[in-house]
Structure 1
């Protein structure tokens, strides 16, 4: 379902993020997604930042200030592919040939598309809140996933120094070996900082009085159209939509009304402008640390490209 993928590069709490073809034990470490939340300041009584209003014509092309310090969709895919190749190669050397994960057929969003829920009316009319499929014939993967064996997990995570056959397992398992190669030459830094600050900025933007006021206007618009939701993400994440693989007529009608009400009250322009202001403040408060994160990501991607080029 849209906005809830298992492994992602964090983009707010919408889940419209980059789904990676990795098992859970591996994914978070590759892309830097963390369940932790970082606050921009220990002082939660900070005044709301000044906002410069902007017009957002396309979220696909829209960028946020912290995006500079984070893995883009393309970069995350490069790092993910390189990690997977290193990991699989290591596992094969240890005698494991099974690959207990499968890709998702859903297309990934471009840029910050989906960050504020559904915004494209044509997409809403076709898919509701479900993720658009790559083609007319694309269907969600219903094939059973292969469950990793205990021996596979041991080799992957490095919970033992050798396999049952006596082969030496690298420190941290094949996961650790792959990560070390990708991070070779990178600065010692809090690489997840930008992602945590991005999550925090997104959460703060949702709690901002200017955004909350617009949510109220959106909610009233939805009520007049026959839908009761206090905020856009309540409609977006309605559990009703998760009961089927295809959107229902009610879901489509809700999503279309959602888009229309966002347009009517100018919600995306206001929310994106406020969100931008919080990210700018986060950068100002963490400039030196973020510069180190940016250098880490640059070297990490260069290492990943080098891995892929030699294969």
Structure 2
């Protein structure tokens, strides 16, 4: 079985890192019937989101408690290596799959980067997250027996003790995820946000543009050509800039996050320590499996 490729390392790394970052149009979070707490964002009035026009990346106050895209690559590759170790202990030869991760432009409040809109129109930018190993050009065929061993190892190794510090995981009721959900819901109901949204709708309608029918969408219809799609998206950004800037809803969201962080600082400090330890352990696993420090 020499040259057999790591199936599950590929699955773990590709499935999670390829989806890093918020979706182009994030769904509204749900807290079920739980009443929303009263959060005074004015106590975090100085909080701001960081928006990268070139990459479409947005950094919010809570992001320091989640894995960054790069850290997520480290952790998932480490998990993949530990699964591979289990497969090898079952008598099979494994070659790690490798490759880069990907993350989508943040568009939870629609398009905001003129640079990316002029190039991509309504299609979100996909940025590359450098991997730790070169991707195998042509993965060899593996036997059914190795696939079964890999499946057993996936179940037994699991996350290998690494916490899943990622925003928006289904079923995650942790304080960080609740802070994120509450901040998003309060933003969607905030009077300043609602006034901004209404002013934007009025502006785009005044330019002869039409929103898609989906509730709360920031997407507008176009003629179908790429040129018109770009024109429409740029006009939508122009409207945002005319009513306070494309970053305003992100800053409101940042303030709701930051205000809650103040109330949970001790717990979040512990989580930050947990994240730092997990990332360092992941780096050590990668070193132990031959990954050069230059990749880390």
* Deviation for aligned residue 1:223: 0.7
TM-score (norm 2): 0.64
The structure with the greater share of residues assigned to strand is 2
> In 1, Cα distance between the equivalents of 2:185 and 2:227?
31
* Deviation for aligned residue 1:178: 5.3
Aligned to 1:68: 64
Aligned to 1:289: 267
Aligned to 2:191: 209
* Deviation for aligned residue 1:131: 3.0
* Deviation for aligned residue 1:290: 1.8
> In 2, Cα distance between the equivalents of 1:154 and 1:196?
38
Spell out, residue by residue over 1:192-251, the C-alpha distance to the aligned partner (whole angstroms, 9 max, x if none).
Answer: 542442233123212212111100111111111222238996134x7x89xx9xx73343
Q: CA RMSD in A?
A: 4.4
CA contact (8 A) 2:83 2:154 kept: yes
> In 2, Cα distance between the equivalents of 1:98 and 1:207?
51
Aligned residues: 247
Aligned to 1:234: 217
* Deviation for aligned residue 1:53: 6.1
Counterpart check, 1:180 vs 2:176: no
* Deviation for aligned residue 1:305: 0.2
> In 2, Cα distance between the equivalents of 1:232 and 1:68?
31
Counterpart check, 1:131 vs 2:114: no
Q: Secondary structure at the match of 1:268?
A: coil
List gaps (5 residues or longer) in structure 2: 1-13, 129-141, 164-171, 291-296
Aligned to 2:167: none
> In 1, Cα distance between the equivalents of 2:48 and 2:75?
33
Spell out, residue by residue over 1:103-155, the C-alpha distance to the aligned partner (whole angstroms, 9 max, x if none).
Answer: 67xx5358xx54533211121121012133669xxxxxxxxxxxx99977865
> In 2, Cα distance between the equivalents of 1:153 and 1:9?
26
Spell out, residue by residue over 1:41-92, the C-alpha distance to the aligned partner (whole angstroms, 9 max, x if none).
Answer: 9542626532626776744686422122111122112112222222344345
Q: Secondary structure at the match of 1:213?
A: helix
List gaps (5 residues or longer) in structure 1: 17-34, 136-147, 159-172, 184-189
Aligned to 2:249: 271
Decide whether aligned partners of structure 1 residues 248 and 233 sit closer, same or farther in structure 2, where only a CA change above 3 A counts: farther
